[in-house]
Amino acid sequence: MATLRAIYDPESGNNPVRIDTQDELDEFVDRVHAYGADHDHPPVVEFTVEHDPWTSPVLYAGIGRDHGFVQELPPGGVARATAGNPQATGTATYDLQGHEHPVPTEQEVPLSTIRVALSAYLAGNGVIPSDQPELRPLDHPQP
């Protein structure tokens, strides 16, 4: 398992949280979920691999009241995102370190799907398997 570094401080992007275990990941997601339930725009968490932040994929995970998204941005690779309702149109607004972050509503999925993708990232040492059903390739990467 990788050691993850997670940032969701909406004011400054400072104060990264270190995540070493599945239990720590679950507790962190619960904490961000509780924080986001009280805000109009749910927070986006930036996840990187602590020992290798430049060559491992970066994940952005929006964690809302009952849904959110995951976007994977691998260096030099194909970006992927969660696949929600393909008929959904428009965008949802999330909070990425104090800035509005529009996300296509077709990427929004239940919180349980977000947890599966984040667990795969942790267990895979910062690499989510290419056949992970929760993610699909993007034609136009986000952030």
28-47 pLDDT per residue, tens: 999 999 888 778 899 999 99
The torsion of the CA quartet 15, 29, 84, 91, rounded to 10 degrees, works out to: -40
Residue 124: count other Cβ atoms within 10 Å of its Cβ. Answer: 15
For 52, the token pair is 């290798």
In this predicted structure, what is the pLDDT of residue 12? 55
pLDDT of residue 143: 47
Give the relative orientation of helices 111-123 and 22-37 as an angle to the nearest 10 degrees: 150
Strand 44-49 versus strand 99-104 pairing type:
unpaired
Please measure the distance between the N-terminal and C-terminal CA atoms of the chain and give it in whole angstroms: 26
Low-confidence ranges of the chain (pLDDT < 70): 10-14, 140-143
Q: Which strand (E) or helix (H) includes residue 28?
A: helix 22-37
- How many Cβ atoms sit within 10 Å of the Cβ of residue 2? 20
